[in-house]
Amino acid sequence: MEVNHYIIRKNLGDELTTNISLAQHSISKKLVVLKSIKRKRIFDIGKKQQKAIEQEINIMKELSGHNKGITNLIETCDIKNSTILVTEYASHGNLFNKVRTMKNGFLSEKQARHYFTQLIDTIEFIHSKNIVHRDLRLENMLIDKNNNLLVSNFGSAVKLSHSTEKMHTKCGSPFYLAPEIFRSAQYNGKNTDIWSCGVVLYYMVTGMFPFQGVNLLDIGRKICTTTPEFPGWISADLVNLIKGILSFDMHERFQIKDIKNHRWIKKKSLPPLNNTCPVRHSIY
Q: Which residues are catalytic?
A: 135
Alpha helices (H) along the chain: 39-45, 47-63, 95-100, 109-128, 179-183, 189-206, 216-225, 236-245, 256-260, 263-266
Q: Cα–Cα distance between 30 and 109 in angstroms, integer?
A: 34
Q: What is the DSSP letter of 94?
A: B
Give 223-232 contacts, CB < 8 A, sequence gap 24+: 223/177, 223/178, 223/179, 223/182, 224/179, 224/182, 224/183, 224/248, 228/202, 230/206, 231/206
Q: Which of 22, 21, 24 is nearest to 6 (CA)?
A: 24
Distance between CA atoms of 189 and 168, rounded to whole angstroms? 9
CA dihedral 210, 240, 70, 97 (to 10 degrees): -40
Task: Annotate 239-277 with b (16+ C-beta within 10 A) or e (fewer).
Answer: bebbebbbbbebeebbebeebeebebbeeeebeeeeeee
